[in-house]
Amino acid sequence: MITEPADRWDDAEADGLDPLAACVYASRLIGRDPGLVLHGGGNTSVKTREIDLDGTPIDVLHVKGSGGDLATIEPAGFAPLRLDLLRMLLTLDRLDDDAMMNALRCASLDASAPDPSVETLLHALLPHPVVLHSHADALLALGNQPDGAERIRAALGPDVLIAPYAKPGFDLAKLCAKLVTPGAYPRGLVLMHHGLFTFGPDARTAYRAHIALVTLAAAQLTTVTPEAVTPPVVAPAALARLRREISAAAGRPMLLSRHDDDRIRAFVTRPDLADVAGRGPATPDHVLRTRPLPLIGTDVAGWSEAYRGYVDAHRDRAAGLTPLDPAPRVLLAPELGMLTAGVRAADTIATADIYRHTMDVIDAAERLGGYRALSAPDLFDVEYWSLEQAKQRRRGTPPELAGEVALVTGAASGIGRACALALHARGAAVIGVDVSPAVAQVLPGPGYRGVVADVTDPDALAGALTVGAETFGGLDIMVAAAGIFPRSRPIAQLDRADWRRAMAVNTDAVADLFALAHPLLALAPRGGRVVLIASKNVPAPGPQAAPYSASKAAAVQLARVAAMEWAADGIRVNIVHPDAVFDTGLWTPELLAARAERYGMTVEQYKRRNLLGTEVTSARVGALTATLCTDAFAATTGTQVSVDGGNDRVI
């Protein structure tokens, strides 16, 4: 819902700030209001006078760096540029994008500063000391209408300049140069289909003008609270199938995240969904996250075909363009809610946030005169704009397992935790499963989800797989690391409860997990991968550990059969045999000391009691496990790898 923005300026907090610090303060206030900007949108600037190395005064424009986030920006997030050089650029008749960006970088007074915003020249053009720019939902809803400009003028008053849409950069700055009359002091500048600029002699004035104008726009809108409804249940395999199709279209594994709530339900069940959502994004700034149009329904191939046609139709507009993958990023369907696709978990969340606001803008605009977005050629120009493509390229090549989903049992501690960390470090989104609530805190960020579940409860395992499908779209990699080591005792004194418990956790739970996970693993875009964490005790059992050795051996046979049965589905199943990993919950310092003493060794000697004389840490086991899931082992299944420092009984 679009609401009136809150004025969050606090004179006490802003007291005594220098002009740049006050601009940082105002920038953060704007950045923290999702009704104003989302995920890197918007930009701000402040003009100051500084002293150059030779003592001469120079005018400096501090403008937000490209791609930075206003919500968390620091002074170092601004590029300090020589204003005289920027204003010289504005006297030119033509300047292409790459030449402009080069000139902007060369105007910097700090070689380590970020690349300046593509909207820098507009900031330089405006004579006002502070300039704040947002993509406020309320203005987009009011302006994205057949008579949007008139509505904005009527709502915001005559002292607000209104510019038609132009691609940000040199052309937009030149267009605005014609509108801004020297000496006049407008309250703000609205760029149609794009956003709002406000100005002021100081950050407070510019911020208050921003809030005031957005409030006037919001007052024109009517919104209704959606009714509370229960979202439908979606089978995990249905999500995994869609993810596989989207990944095939993208040419690489993609995450797929499901979002469903009252707001989304109200939108996806609109009878005119295909019509209104088919008109385009709320602002072209969103197009790189959302693509020009969402997929309505589930025909991924049909969307890809249409997208290729759209690219072909506009190819002449962007010579030398790098074609983007023909895969949708937003999928809307009454039976699913909203699904968002992306290589990184953070991308699926950013895209979902952006499209939620698109829903609000479309809904509010439809309640007025009717939603209208920018035309397809203009959208194409933004999507295939060299500066935007460069911004994407700067994010770098994603890591090897990016776009893939891993589930690790026993993830709260020891080897399971190390496996979760290693897979996450290689780019996989990870579902950690453990009976301990500590599983929730194994990793920060959107690429990890901890699920508290007892692996001996098949319903709880199914629940964890459902969380994986809803959050990330399916399952590519599964690591069965949960296990227990019962008390040591000879078979003659076998404790039946210990035996049953070892079998339940080390064998039965693995069998249940394999059975439940197979349908999802079979739909993994690059083929599923499974690693069973077994034990040196399988190839080289020790006395007094019958329940452990027997239960792990049974699990190994299960994994070997799975390797045979699942090879045709492209699923690789491999087994890791760690030994003497002492940095796990199984080993206390007292137990370690007692064991070392029994062998007549120091603890350090005991830890390295193997052929290589090396310490086997859980991190080493995690790294090996993650590597088994990479392409280095693409032709390997059913194999058993020791990670024990070398053991003459195993070799």
- Residue among 77 and 195 whose Cβ is closer to Zn ion: 195
Report in angstroms how near the CB of residue 358 gets to Zn ion at its nearest.
16
Q: CA-CA distances (angstroms) from residue 171 to 83, 218, 238, 362, 589?
A: 18, 29, 46, 28, 69
Q: Are 89 and 121 in contact (CB under 8 A)?
A: yes
Report in angstroms how near the CB of residue 168 gets to Zn ion at its nearest.
6
Q: Are 526 and 475 in contact (CB under 8 A)?
A: no
- Residue among 169 and 253 whose Cβ is closer to Zn ion: 169
Question: How many of the chain's residues bind Zn ion (CB under 5 A)?
Answer: 1
- Residue among 210 and 529 whose Cβ is closer to Zn ion: 210
Burial label for 183, CB within 10 Å (0-12, 13-18, 19+), is exposed
String marking each residue 172-211 x if it binds Zn ion according to CB under 5 A: -----------------------x----------------
Quick one: tokens of 42? 């918007």
- The number of helices, as runs of H, and strands, as runs of E, in the chain is 25, 18
Q: Are 301 and 309 in contact (CB under 8 A)?
A: no
- Residue among 177 and 306 whose Cβ is closer to Zn ion: 177
606 flagged as catalytic: no
Measured in degrees and rounded to the nearest 5, phi and psi for residue 81 equal -120, 145
Report in angstroms how near the CB of residue 191 gets to Zn ion at its nearest.
7
- Residue among 156 and 196 whose Cβ is closer to Zn ion: 196
Report in angstroms how near the CB of residue 283 gets to Zn ion at its nearest.
7
DSSP state of 506: I
CB count within 10 Å of CB 201 equals: 12
Estimate the share of the chain in helix, then strand, then coil, as percent rounded to the nearest 5: 45, 15, 40
Which residue's beta carbon is nearest to the bound Zn ion? Answer: 195
Q: Are 236 and 520 in contact (CB under 8 A)?
A: yes
- Residue among 180 and 465 whose Cβ is closer to Zn ion: 180
- Residue among 195 and 578 whose Cβ is closer to Zn ion: 195
Question: Which candidate, 486, 564, 574, places its Cα nearest to that of 534?
Answer: 574
For the chain, give the number of residues.
Answer: 651
For the CA atoms of 343, 348, 354, 360, the dihedral, rounded to the nearest 10 degrees, stands at 140
Q: Is 632 helix (H, G, I), strand (E, B) or coil?
A: helix
- Residue among 195 and 328 whose Cβ is closer to Zn ion: 195
Selected catalytic residue, list 25, 355, 548, 606: 548
Give residue 352's identity as a one-letter amino acid code. A
Report in angstroms how near the CB of residue 285 gets to Zn ion at its nearest.
5
Report d(CA 245, CA 300) in Å as an integer: 7
Report d(CA 445, CA 463) in Å as an integer: 21
Report d(CA 388, CA 74) in Å as an integer: 23
Quick one: tokens of 107? 């105007």
Catalytic residues: 548
Residues that bind Zn ion (CB under 5 A): 195
